[in-house]
Amino acid sequence: MLATTLKVPALFFLALVVTFPSPYVFNALVRPTKSRCTDGPKCYATWATRNPGQKVSPARVGQGRCFTMGYHHTQKGPLHYIMFATAAIMFLGAWLAREEPIAAIVVSVTGLLVFVLAFAFVRLTVQDEVDCLAIRFGPLPLFSKRIPYGEITAVEPDRTNFLDGWGVHWIPGRGWTYNLWGFDCVKLTLGSKVIRVGTDDVENLVEFLRGKIDLPDKIPPLNT
pLDDT for residue 199: 95
What pLDDT shows up at residue 155?
95
Q: What is the structure's pLDDT at 97?
A: 87
Taking alpha carbons only, the member of 52, 75, 47, 72 closest to residue 181 is 75
pLDDT, tens digit, 9 for 90 and up, residues 190-219: 999 999 999 999 999 999 999 888 654 444
- Parallel, antiparallel, or unpaired: how do β-strands 144-148 and 132-138 relate? antiparallel
**Cβ partners under 8 Å of residue 149, min gap 6:** 131, 132, 133, 209, 212, 213
Sketch out the chain's domains with CATH numbers.
Answer: 70-77+123-213 (2.30.29)
Omega of the bond leading into 58 within 30 degrees of 0 (cis): no
Those residues of the chain that have pLDDT short of 50 are 1-6, 8-40, 42, 57, 59-68, 216-224
Q: What are the two backbone dihedrals, phi and then psi, of residue 89, each rounded to the nearest 5 degrees?
A: -65, -40
Secondary-structure breakdown of the chain: helix, strand, coil percentages, each rounded to the nearest 5: 45, 25, 35
Specify whether the CB–CB gap between 26 and 119 falls below 8 A.
yes
pLDDT reported for residue 115? 95
pTM of the complete model: 0.65
Alpha helices in 20-127 (DSSP H): 40-50, 58-62, 79-96, 101-118
